[in-house]
Structure 1
């Protein structure tokens, strides 16, 4: 039986309420639940730490470089200047998370710098950053859909043209998705389009994913009726998450992404045992970056 989406959920197996900040829907967390409910639980509810990977660190540094690049005057945003920003971006990322020195020990930071510089150089084949000024960088976007469903995310860049048309841009340091993964990319674009529509009252003219590894642009032109349908999809997804949160039933689901998962030791599909269910968080506190899938070092699927 369905209950109001705003209803609080208590852990039926625990006598004590769990006081942790509430989970929220981001593109990453929504994808987690659709892909594997147990993965969603371990990330969003149990908050099991995940070790960073070299690819995730590289992606985080690339994002930091591009953010710093657009902080410069337009005339100074050439490729040579972008390359010079890499060491400083690395130091910012390194300062925010322990253990990164060991992760890049093979070849040292200079090897990582060269990987980052190659990806940033590829960016210049797709856009000319000297020809426009972004309206927002690494902007946190959030809205409670219909007053009840918390949607949260960070958008890499928002552009607003002189005529008021708005474009949302997200950078990816991995390769462009094949046909089997295009739906996930489209889901992310629709998610951002909906949040922008609800927060700014503007239907974005274009949403763009920039895949730096193979220099591919994926663009999407949203339609208001399509976004209304998408809002109903998110409503149904959130209801399913609340139902699972009430019962603690987050079943594992084996799929092609399992090979990238850090939770094998806790997954019955791989002979592991999940920890006892801690219950759904009951404190309506400010959502943290962990809820959003936005750690100081990005997860592999976020880059």
Structure 2
């Protein structure tokens, strides 16, 4: 298994991996991707186009869109609920529109470039070749997600877009200082994975890269275009990776040897070697989280949780914390029964 330089440091960035994942997964349905060990193929245009939230949260019908209860959980949406249950509702139940983000879109573009670079023979995986992929992948992104064109609607001369693309180039170039793609042969790239736990909860997501050593050891790699978090926030950053490790374990009965976060914004690599007890703790936490989501879905009680992140939220007009009113709840509700799980309460990580 190829290793890269390790370390953690730098300032915590506003841009989050979950944001990047949401934007990237929206276009995943345009590619045929396989689930690890499950043999499941997600064909072009299939349900992968709605992977950012639990699949089936909105079903198009003859009379318009009809909301249905969430049926699965991804790292992004788990993070949404832990951050703010009302945000989860807005994204998953109500499917309120959100403006495209320059940071998240840049992350999607960089991920696409790094994925496509491995199509080339090892000796041709150079920084100039990677940067040369950016225009074509940007054109593809604009075709598959036309809304991103809005990012530069007020930039008729293309000055801001040129600067934005230059920032993407810098991130791609920095990756070559952290890993050597000529010595890597990923087993999987942009891999859609899904596993159903004994409880019936379905976990799903997309793993940026899976490396398998000749000895069979598995490394899960995720690219982040933001900066590495401070050391005290490292556990939160690893939640997504432990989520993926849990899915791989449940699918293949193999605990990944290493989890690796590559922060292109700061040039850091954060690694963690999980053990079975880690994955069991994450599973317990997700089951408690899902029970809280189930209760909120049935009662319609989605409590806002104000934090400094509220300033970045697109849904202030609908949030009671900002004087807004949520849209009418589109699902049947019932009164909370005595003894129900307290909403938002989760088990230990």
Stretches of 4+ aligned residues off by more than 4 angstroms: none
Q: Tell me the equivalent position of 1:59.
A: 107
Of the structure 1 ranges 157-166 and 271-280, higher mean CA displacement relative to structure 2 is found in 271-280
Once residues 111 and 179 of structure 1 are traced to their aligned partners in structure 2, the CA distance between those partners, rounded to angstroms, is: 31
TM, length-normalised to structure 1: 0.83
Match of 2:118 among 70, 74, 99: 70
**2:90 maps to 1:42:** yes
**What are structure 2's unaligned runs of at least 5 residues?**
1-65, 334-349
Output one character per residue of 1:50-82: Cα deviation in whole Å (capped at 9) or x when no partner: 111111111111011001111211111011111
**2:308 maps to 1:256:** yes
Once residues 22 and 31 of structure 1 are traced to their aligned partners in structure 2, the CA distance between those partners, rounded to angstroms, is: 15
How does 1:155-166 map onto structure 2 within 5 Å? 155-166=207-218
CA contact (8 A) 1:65 1:85 kept: yes
Once residues 178 and 264 of structure 1 are traced to their aligned partners in structure 2, the CA distance between those partners, rounded to angstroms, is: 28
- The 3-state SS of whatever aligns with 2:72 is coil
**2:281 maps to 1:229:** yes
Once residues 332 and 237 of structure 2 are traced to their aligned partners in structure 1, the CA distance between those partners, rounded to angstroms, is: 29
Q: Tell me the equivalent position of 1:295.
A: none
Once residues 120 and 202 of structure 1 are traced to their aligned partners in structure 2, the CA distance between those partners, rounded to angstroms, is: 31
Q: Tell me the equivalent position of 2:165.
A: 113
| Root-mean-square deviation over aligned CA pairs | 1.7
How does 1:73-152 map onto structure 2 within 5 Å? 73-104=121-152, 105=155, 107=159, 109-152=161-204
CA contact (8 A) 1:23 1:44 kept: no
- The 3-state SS of whatever aligns with 1:176 is coil
Once residues 69 and 84 of structure 2 are traced to their aligned partners in structure 1, the CA distance between those partners, rounded to angstroms, is: 22
Once residues 225 and 280 of structure 1 are traced to their aligned partners in structure 2, the CA distance between those partners, rounded to angstroms, is: 38
CA contact (8 A) 1:23 1:45 kept: no
Once residues 332 and 281 of structure 2 are traced to their aligned partners in structure 1, the CA distance between those partners, rounded to angstroms, is: 28
* Residues 1:153 and 1:40: Cα distance change in structure 2 (over 3 Å): same
Once residues 179 and 118 of structure 2 are traced to their aligned partners in structure 1, the CA distance between those partners, rounded to angstroms, is: 12
Q: Tell me the equivalent position of 1:220.
A: 272
Instruction: For residue 110 of structure 1, report the CA deviation from its aligned partner.
Output: 2.8
Once residues 151 and 280 of structure 1 are traced to their aligned partners in structure 2, the CA distance between those partners, rounded to angstroms, is: 24
Larger RCO (alpha carbons 8 Å, 6+ apart)? 1
Output one character per residue of 1:224-245: Cα deviation in whole Å (capped at 9) or x when no partner: 0221122111111101100111
Of the structure 1 ranges 92-101 and 211-220, higher mean CA displacement relative to structure 2 is found in 92-101
TM, length-normalised to structure 2: 0.72
CA contact (8 A) 1:193 1:204 kept: yes
Output one character per residue of 1:97-156: Cα deviation in whole Å (capped at 9) or x when no partner: 123233133515432221111000110111000101100010001111115111010000
